[in-house]
Amino acid sequence: MTSDILAVIFNLNTFNAALRLSIPLALGAMAGAFSERAGIINIGLEGMLLMGAFAGVFGSFVTGSAWLGVGFAAVAGILTSLIFAIFIIEFKADHVVAGVGLNILALGFTTWMMQMIWGTRGASPSVASVPAIVIYFLEDIPVIGRLLGIQSPFVYIMLAMILAGWVLMFKTPLGLRIRFTGEHPEAADSQGINVKKIKYFSLLLSGFFCGVGGAYLSLGHLSQFSRNMTAGRGYMALAANIFGQWNPLGGLAASFLFGFTDALQMRLQGIDIGLANDLIQMLPYVLTILVLAGAVIKSRPPAALGNHYESGE
């Protein structure tokens, strides 16, 4: 039995699946990094991912193009984050309460829209999805070829976005303004930085990342939308962001860890290890709780995270 478990763990197919499963988590974690670096607690990642997943399928359904569906998903993520931003920035709502409310709204809205459009509350019809692509110069390289030679385009999109997000956050003046806003908005305001615009930009960018991450779930991983298909991935992304120290690269590493655990539990269900499948399926969520508990104790969030600020206060 031990040898069977080790064979599953040290298997390139498991790592390949983990890479794909980490896509919505890593993009959600980066979305959380940008919003929280600007001082906004983003519990609403789950709702943004869910709206992106639904809009991706809807866009593919009405246009017949999976890539246009991805565009629909990105726009839906941005619009969802705009709703969140208005409540947080303009109405000064409690960040956590508004985020939870957004998640409930997204679940109810997508379920209602499925009923209105397709006459079902369970799952949408199958639509055009984004197929895997072959990178020929990588395909023949040992190990790397198995992981990246034939993959979903979303894998390459995720890696490119995370690298670009890291550069934006840590190597550009705009990224410095975002981090400054989350640490000391009063000082940022005194230096001529428009704190409100920075917060809006950071949240809208977060929505864009979540929209693309949601599109992967419905157009890359599957070819349909199902009720509550994010299944807590937004909360896992938030945990990955905290564990990754509000850094897109750290969030990617944490997301891969969660994705690996998820891939592992799927493969372990196919062998007899003496545990019920229900217990095996709990592995990713148990790991999330443990990681989040440890990360919260040891991490140092942005100093002004969760605070409200109005220019002139």
pLDDT-derived band at 7 (thresholds 50, 70, 90) equals low
pLDDT of residue 2: 60
pLDDT of residue 174: 97
Instruction: Give the bridge partners for 133, in sequence order.
Output: 151
Residue 312 has pLDDT above 60, yes or no: no
Read off the pTM.
0.92
Burial of 135 (0-12, 13-18, 19+ CB in 10 A): middle
Residue 179 CA: distances (Å) to CA of 75, 87, 173, 250: 25, 21, 10, 16
List, in order of start, the domains of the chain with CATH numbers. 2-298 (1.10.3470)
CA distance 157 to 242: 22
Convert the pLDDT of each residue in 199-219 to its tens digit. Answer: 999 999 999 999 999 999 999
